[in-house]
Structure 1
Amino acid sequence: MVLAVVIGVGAGIGSIVFRWCVETFTRFFSGHADYAASPGAGNPHAPWLGPCFVLLAPVVGGLLYGPLVHRFAKEARGHGVPEVMLAVAQRGGRISPKVAVVKTLASALCIGSGGSVGREGPIVQIGSSLGSALGRVTKVTEGRMRLLVACGAAGGIAATFNAPLAGVFFAMELILGTFSAEAFGATVLASVTASVIGRAAFGNLAFLRLPDFHVDHLGQYALFAALGVVAGVVGVGFSRFLYLVEDACDWLWRGPEWLRPAVGGVALGAVLLVLPQMYGVGYPVLEKATEGGYAVGFLLLLLVGKMLATSLTIGIGGSGGVFAPSLFIGAMLGSGYGSLVHRLLPGSAGAVGAYALVGMGAVFAGAARAPITAVVILFELTGEYSIILPLMLAIVLATATSRLLSGDTVYTLKLRRRGIDLDGPVPGARIGTQRVDAVMEPLPSPLPASTVLADSAGLLSLSGHGALPVVDDHGAYVGVVTARAVAEALAERPDDAPAVVGLLAQSPPPVLADQPLVQALHTLLSVAGTGVPVLASERGEPVGWLSHQSALRAVRTTA
């Protein structure tokens, strides 16, 4: 608890420093606090260049952050969140402390010089690095180290967006990939602490000023549902296009990596000259779109332009997040969609801004497949409870559409392309690559569902497994009963305990015979007892038993 608060303080201060660096470098390179608020203007520091200064700003910025990243922390390149996910999943939460410093400078230089990326990826990596460093200093266990890294991520998101709940769910849904009471408590402490510090520095306002939201007509829910499906497709398309451009940059570039951001900055500068609204994060443009300030054709141009500018920034070796770009793309999609619907159904379509807000959350959910985070952050941005129903509907449909179209998210796809499977074993691991049927034990004698509860207690005590499969009168598999469940039923409710063991049987998540062992281990660790039944892939009937001992036996067979 104390460490979580300390990390929250560090993440809050880190967000203040990082935002100050972004604003300072933006003023240095563009002469404006946020150039996206006055696109096409000249740089007052170099008035003779006019708006053409955007051709030089990304080049100069690349000359500064390119060598910095290449020399001191190569993991600071890109959007940051996948590296944190990898550290938590396969490296025990270990992140180099220098990442916080390098990521702060590199991302601030990249965004300040025109890089069309977000602030959330860098602050997640910065906060996570602080959490990992504190964990090393205090010599915590590996499990606690992962939790401290998640606390850093939660604090960073909370302070950056002034959204403490979103920080908690971002950390649990994307970084940890699991929910538990301990993780929730620790990340809440870090998130609240960071939010208090962030609000003291930036005020108690959301980072976006968004229009009021309300549903005027029940028929709008069908329109929001259709928007969710379209947003899911766009989210997946953004993910694919991002790495397509990165592949193209890899194929074209043959020089030293430290020079790549500067040379690629020429192409980015050309995009900014045509669409200066792409300069930096672009929050002023996003706000104007939610207010209905652009025509439909220009909204679609901004949508495509953001995809291109963000992908190009990442492809040339820039440093920044993809969270804010996905919100930007969603706002353009939602505003354009809302404008079209309003023209077709002026009496029942409702305000354009409502579709922009829902589009923001839905595209992010389609790209990152983090529906809870998407719902919570949009709710915190608006403070309007009326947003919940249409937002949940669209986000769930966007997530489902994304899952149908792709097995990866915008974060995991980066790792998959490097041959890394977060759910798989670490390369070179001595356990996890085998199939379940190669290490499983024979199936213990199952309990008939009609077995008297008191009799089942004796059989379970003699089994040595702490759990046994249960079959019905026809021999069909029903589920698993644990010794703990039987003992609690007999001790805590002797008068109304179930008469037979079948009433206590539960079905654990299925473990299949042809499944990789590393995937089955997640199930094995999450269930009560010391083992789970292994099911035949084609019939769904138990054919073996996987226990902790049989999994460890795989180490001996591979030695």
Structure 2
Amino acid sequence: MLLAIVVGAGAGAGSVVFRRCIEIFTRLFSGHSDYAAAAGTSNSHVPWLGPYFVLLAPVVGGLLYGPLVNRFAKEARGHGVPEVMVAVAQHGGRISPKVAVVKTLASALTIGSGGSVGREGPIVQIGSALGSTLGLLAKVTEARLKLLVACGAAGGIAATFNAPLAGVFFAMELILGTFSAEAFGATVLSSVTASVIGRAAFGDVAFLNLPDFHVDHLAQYGLFALLGIVSAVVGVGFSRFLYLIEDACDWLWRGPEWLRPAVGGIALGLVLLALPEMYGVGYPVLQKATEGNYAVGFLLLLIVGKMVATSVTIGIGGSGGVFAPSLFIGAMLGAAYGIGAHHLLPGTAGAVGAYSLVGMGAVFAGASRAPITAVVILFELTGEYSIILPLMLAIVLGTATSRLLTHDTIYTLKLLRRGIDLTAPAHGARIGAQKVGAVMEPSPAPLPSATGLTDAADALSRSGHGALPVVDDRGDYLGVVTAQAVAEALSEDPETAPKRVGQLAEPPTPVTVDQPLTQALHSLLAAPGTGIPVFDASGHEPVGWLSHQSALKAVHTATA
């Protein structure tokens, strides 16, 4: 817990430094604290260039951060979150400490010189690197090291966005991929500590200033539901377009990698000249969209422009996140949708800003499939609770639609393109690639569903397993009963407690003989007992048993 607090303090301080660096470099390259708020104006440092300075800013920025990333930390390139995810899933939470320094400078230079990316990916990687470094110095166990990495991610999100709850859920939903009391407690401590530091530096203010929204007609829920589905399609499309442009940049570039951001900066500069609202993160433009200050045609142009500008920034080797661009695209989509709904149903549709806010969450959920994070972070970023029900509806539908459209997310797709599957064993791992059928053991004798709890307890104590399969009178498989379930039932009131094991049997996540062991391990670890049944390829007939011991035998088999 003490280490979590220290990591939170480090992540909070890191976010302050990172934000200050962005402000310094933005003012240096553009002459404004945020050029998106004064799009199309000249740079006070070089007024004679007029608005054409945006052609040079990305080139100069690329000349600075390109060699820095290429020489000291190549993993600092891109949007950062996938690198943290793979560090936790396959590298035991180990992240080089130099990543924090390089990522801070590279991302601040990218955003300050016009890169159309966000700051959440960098701060997640910065905070995670701090957590990993502290954990390695303290020589904690691997499980605790992973938790400290998540604490750094939570603290970074909390401090930079003034969103302590969102930081916690972001860390557990995307970085750890699991929920537990220990993880929740540690990430909360880190997030709160970082938030205190962030609020001391930036103030306790909401990310967006929005008027009160109210759902006055039930028909609006239908409109919000449809927006959630449309947003998911756009979110998935953004993910695909991002990597399509990155592939094109990889195919076109034949020079040294350190020079790629500078040369590619020419293309980014042309985008910024045509649409200067794409300069940097673009929060001022997002605010105006939620206020309904743009026409539908311009909103649609901003959606396309953001997709292009962000994709080009990442494709040429820039460093920055994709969370803020997802919010930006969602806000423009929602505002355009809201204006259209208002014209079609003027007495029913309601405020345009409500659709803009819901679109932000739904596009992010569609791209990342992190619905809890999407709901919480939109609530915290805006402080607007009255829209929570439509927001939850749209985000859940957006997440479900995204899952129907694709198996990957904007984060995991980057790793899959490198040949890294987070559900597969790490390269060179001694366990995981084998098929379940090759390592399973014979299934233990099943318990009839009519077996009494006392007899079941006796059978479980003699079996050597913490769980046993249960069959009905015809011998058909019903599920698994665990020693824990039997013990809890025996401790209850005899008048109301279950009398037979058939009442306690629960089917665990099915595992088949042709499944890779690495996938089955997730089901085994999630099961309450010490083993789970293995089914035939059709998934209907139990043919064996997978336990922790039989999984470990795979190591012996591989080295024998």
Q: By how many angstroms is 1:495 displaced? A: 5.0
Q: By how many angstroms is 1:172 displaced? A: 0.3
Cross-structure match for 1:192: 192
Output aligned runs, 1:539-554, within 5 Å.
Answer: 539-554=539-554
Q: Work out the CA distance in 1 between the residues paired with 2:17 and 2:474.
A: 68
Output aligned runs, 1:97-246, within 5 Å.
Answer: 97-246=97-246
Post-superposition CA distance 1:368-396 (Å, at most 9, x none): 00000000011112223221110011001
Output aligned runs, 1:506-521, within 5 Å.
Answer: 506-521=506-521
Cross-structure match for 1:46: 46
Letter of the aligned partner of 2:425 in structure 1?
P
Cross-structure match for 2:69: 69
Output aligned runs, 1:340-355, within 5 Å.
Answer: 340-355=340-355
| 8 Å CA contact retained: 1:39, 1:277 | yes
SS in 2 for 1:25: helix
Letter of the aligned partner of 1:63 in structure 2?
L
Cross-structure match for 1:532: 532
Letter of the aligned partner of 1:29 in structure 2?
F
SS in 2 for 1:385: coil
Q: Work out the CA distance in 2 between the residues paired with 1:439 and 1:385.
A: 52
| 8 Å CA contact retained: 2:210, 2:384 | no
| 8 Å CA contact retained: 2:84, 2:175 | yes
Q: Work out the CA distance in 2 between the residues paired with 1:248 and 1:540.
A: 46
Q: Work out the CA distance in 1 between the residues paired with 2:292 and 2:552.
A: 60
Q: Work out the CA distance in 2 between the residues paired with 1:164 and 1:78.
A: 25
Letter of the aligned partner of 1:40 in structure 2?
G
Cross-structure match for 1:499: 499
| 8 Å CA contact retained: 1:210, 1:381 | no
Q: By how many angstroms is 1:91 displaced? A: 0.4
Q: By how many angstroms is 1:183 displaced? A: 0.2
| 8 Å CA contact retained: 2:511, 2:539 | no
Q: Which sections of structure 1, spanning at least 5 residues, go unmatched? A: none
Q: Work out the CA distance in 2 between the residues paired with 1:15 and 1:483.
A: 48
Q: By how many angstroms is 1:484 displaced? A: 2.3
- The two structures, once aligned, show a CA RMSD in angstroms of 1.0
Post-superposition CA distance 1:301-343 (Å, at most 9, x none): 0000000000000000000000000000000000000011111
Q: By how many angstroms is 1:539 displaced? A: 4.6
Letter of the aligned partner of 2:37 in structure 1?
A
Letter of the aligned partner of 1:338 in structure 2?
G
Q: By how many angstroms is 1:211 displaced? A: 3.4
Letter of the aligned partner of 1:231 in structure 2?
S
Letter of the aligned partner of 1:382 in structure 2?
T
Output aligned runs, 1:261-272, within 5 Å.
Answer: 261-272=261-272
SS in 2 for 1:386: coil
SS in 1 for 2:481: strand
Cross-structure match for 1:323: 323
Q: State the TM-score, normalized to the length of structure 2.
A: 0.99
Q: By how many angstroms is 1:210 displaced? A: 3.0
Q: By how many angstroms is 1:216 displaced? A: 2.1
| 8 Å CA contact retained: 1:212, 1:382 | no
Letter of the aligned partner of 2:227 in structure 1?
L
Residue 60 of structure 1 pairs with residue 60 of structure 2: yes
Q: Work out the CA distance in 1 between the residues paired with 2:487 and 2:114.
A: 64
Cross-structure match for 1:276: 276
Letter of the aligned partner of 1:153 in structure 2?
A
Cross-structure match for 1:292: 292
| 8 Å CA contact retained: 2:327, 2:364 | yes
Cross-structure match for 1:28: 28
Post-superposition CA distance 1:454-486 (Å, at most 9, x none): 111111122111211001112111111112222
Q: By how many angstroms is 1:213 displaced? A: 2.2
Q: Work out the CA distance in 2 between the residues paired with 1:466 and 1:168.
A: 33
Post-superposition CA distance 1:380-415 (Å, at most 9, x none): 122232211100110011111111111100000000
**Could you tell me the percent identity over the aligned residues?**
80
| 8 Å CA contact retained: 1:59, 1:264 | yes
Post-superposition CA distance 1:393-452 (Å, at most 9, x none): 100111111111111000000000000001110111111011111111111111000011
Letter of the aligned partner of 1:288 in structure 2?
K
